[in-house]
Amino acid sequence: MAKIHVKTPLVELDGDEMTRIIWQLVKEKLILPFLDVTLEYYDLGLEHRDATDDQVTHDAAAAIARHGVGVKCATITPSIAQVGEFKLKKAWPSPNGTLRGALDGTVFRKPIICPNIPTAVRSWKKPIAIGRHAYGDIYNCREHYVPGPGKAELVFTPSGGEPVRITIHDFAGPGVIMGMHNTERSIRSFARACLEYALTEGIDLWFATKDTISKTYHTLFKTVFAEEAAARAAEFKTLGISYRYLLIDDAVAQIVKHEGGILWACMNYDGDVQSDMVAAGFGSLGMMTSVLVSPDGKFEYEAAHGTVSRHYRDHLAGRETSTNSVATIFAWSGALRKRGDLDGTEKVSAFADRIERAVLGCIAGGVMTRDLARIIHNTMDPPRDSWVDTAGFIDVVARRLAG
């Protein structure tokens, strides 16, 4: 069978640990045998980021801005302890945070639903998409360990003006301080992206913060969202959908009783946490798509989960692994579909659909990894003949795809 030609290069961002192993299997068995595609490769594995002083991450962001579409493997954001473990120069920042900042993007995460995989939350019948603000907050904070007594201040010096000083805390002993920021421009871009997504999908939009506590920082988010929602209220009314503001704790309480079919817009940290909760509620962290969308129409697709460290240690020890590769496969299919749409190459977009049908067909037919078998059999130790290993699942998808 002749390979399908992909007109424009696709930016490939490699990653770490078990997802790096899966990444290579997916590329070798599901992508390259079927597509004539130029992959502009960037190794975002932790060792290479350290060797390049993280310049490779910035280069990858520039490549996505240049070509329009990238696909990314999960990566490690090293802790202080891991600096010593991996003999790193420093605790490099989150690659995802760097990419989000460079592209000024909003992250949308959505569960992959398969009919025979029951949800952990009984009320959830339709997908719940998470819109995550992709700039600032704790992911671009400045921190300081306070060694002893002293005063911590928040200082802002206006251009050409006198400094404004606000006491944070008078320390009587050791402690820690953190400084976070955001910009109105980024918040407004986030709000507009979420409104556009809700209108495109024809679903209700929720937005939640804690403005009762954070009366300036969080209130600015609430105010900007209200302004932008008011500007598009007529469009929402025409489609019969709504915009709703909630406190974040109220949103969490209500979401577990909701049927789904909404977009839940969250601030950066909330989106990080709640997307994992939603993924687990719909079945597995391995069943959640993620796409970073910039205001000027650049796209970066990835799995919403991490690098699956525990499985990687098993892999290195020669033990059998059964790691769910569905979200990684859907990252590739999502990027290829967008690449085909932007290039006007229908065959590429159609191939992306074929990959996803092959994956869901395998699961619906009873071929799945151990995490999904645990859900179906409602036990942490499902029968061995009810699941396949990591490479075995990808092999079955490949056979379906070839057939």
Contact 292, 335 (CB under 8 A): no
Q: Is 332 helix (H, G, I), strand (E, B) or coil?
A: helix
Q: Using 50, 70 and 90 to split pLDDT, how confident is the model at 296? A: confident
DSSP letter, residue 20: H
Largest pairwise CA distance in the chain? 73
User: Rounded to an integer, what distance in angstroms lies between the CA atom of residue 348 and that of residue 132?
Assistant: 28
Contact 329, 359 (CB under 8 A): yes
Q: Using 50, 70 and 90 to split pLDDT, how confident is the model at 286? A: confident
pTM score: 0.88
pLDDT of 140 above 90: no
User: Rounded to an integer, what distance in angstroms lies between the CA atom of residue 320 and that of residue 313?
Assistant: 11
Q: Is 323 helix (H, G, I), strand (E, B) or coil?
A: coil
Return the closest-CA partner of residue 374 out of 303, 275, 286.
Answer: 286
Q: Which amino acid is at 216?
A: T
Could you give the domains of the chain?
A: 1-115+297-403 (3.40.718.10), 119-141+181-282 (3.40.718.10), 143-179 (no CATH)
Q: What is the overall mean pLDDT for the chain?
A: 95
Q: Could you give the residue ranges of the DSSP H alpha helices within 136-243? A: 184-201, 217-231, 233-239
Q: Is the dihedral of CA 242, 248, 253, 255 positive or negative?
A: positive
When pLDDT is averaged across residues 325-345 and rounded to a whole number, the result is 97
pLDDT of 163 above 90: yes
pLDDT score at 145 = 97
Q: Which tokens sit at 222?
A: 């609430």
